[in-house]
């Protein structure tokens, strides 16, 4: 069984994926490492560019018939038995990414992606079995308990759990709307 754990950078994918793999007795797979070992990833500056066209085929051939938890913000693009999309309040996400040293534009891009449900929408478009889990205010153990409960209960689709739009006014500071020219020498 392939369980993909996806979400915007900073939502807690790696910590939750490792705990979930341990709890279920599955192998933990870092999608970036898988892409590098398969030769479909190339470093571009500080980023790692993954060939998303080849990713599904490569992942399927390398992971078929294994019991794995696949961790990565692109893992919802691979053929998985179930996709878990972790979510986090964009205000918290913005602070986490700032603390990681992300550039203001990268913080803005990721906060916006979370605000508009980008990864969730992509996951739903590609997979019938998607579980959305809000990590806001929960420690990783609580998140893993929630996921394992949903899996144990046979829940195969749970979306629409969060709506960040009511916090838009508090999130806008991370988006740099109307400030692009000022911040980039204009």
CATH number at residue 132: 3.40.50.300
pLDDT at position 44 is 86
- Domains held by the chain: number: 1
Best-predicted range by mean pLDDT (36-50, 136-150, 167-181): 136-150
pTM across the whole model: 0.90
Element at 112 (helix H, strand E): helix 104-115
Give the pLDDT confidence of 36-68 residue by residue, as tens digits: 999 999 988 878 899 999 999 999 999 999 999
On the question of pLDDT at 178 being above 80, the answer is no
Range of the domain at 173: 2-183
Percent of the chain at pLDDT above 70?
A: 93
Q: Which residues face 50 on adjacent strands? A: 41
3-state SS track over 69-105: EEECCCHHHCCCCEEEEEECCHHHHHHHHHHCCCCHH
């Amino acid at each position: 069984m392939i369980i993909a754990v996806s979400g915007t950078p900073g939502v807690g994918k790696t910590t939750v994926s490792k705990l979930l793999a341990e709890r279920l007795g599955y192998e933990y797979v870092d999608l970036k490492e898988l892409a590098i070992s398969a030769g479909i990833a190339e470093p571009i500056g500080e980023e790692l560019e993954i060939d998303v066209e080849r990713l599904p085929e490569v992942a399927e051939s390398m992971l078929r018939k294994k019991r794995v938890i696949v961790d990565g913000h692109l893992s919802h693009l691979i053929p998985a038995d179930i996709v878990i999309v972790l979510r986090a309040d964009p205000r918290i996400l913005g602070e986490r990414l700032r603390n990681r040293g992300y550039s203001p534009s990268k913080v803005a891009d990721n906060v916006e992606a979370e605000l508009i449900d980008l990864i969730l929408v992509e996951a739903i478009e590609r997979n019938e079995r998607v579980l959305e889990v809000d990590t806001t205010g929960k420690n990783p153990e609580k998140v893993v308990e929630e996921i394992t409960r949903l899996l144990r209960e046979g829940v195969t689709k749970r979306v629409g759990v969060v709506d960040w739009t009511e916090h838009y006014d508090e999130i806008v500071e991370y988006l740099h709307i109307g400030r692009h020219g000022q911040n980039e020498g204009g």
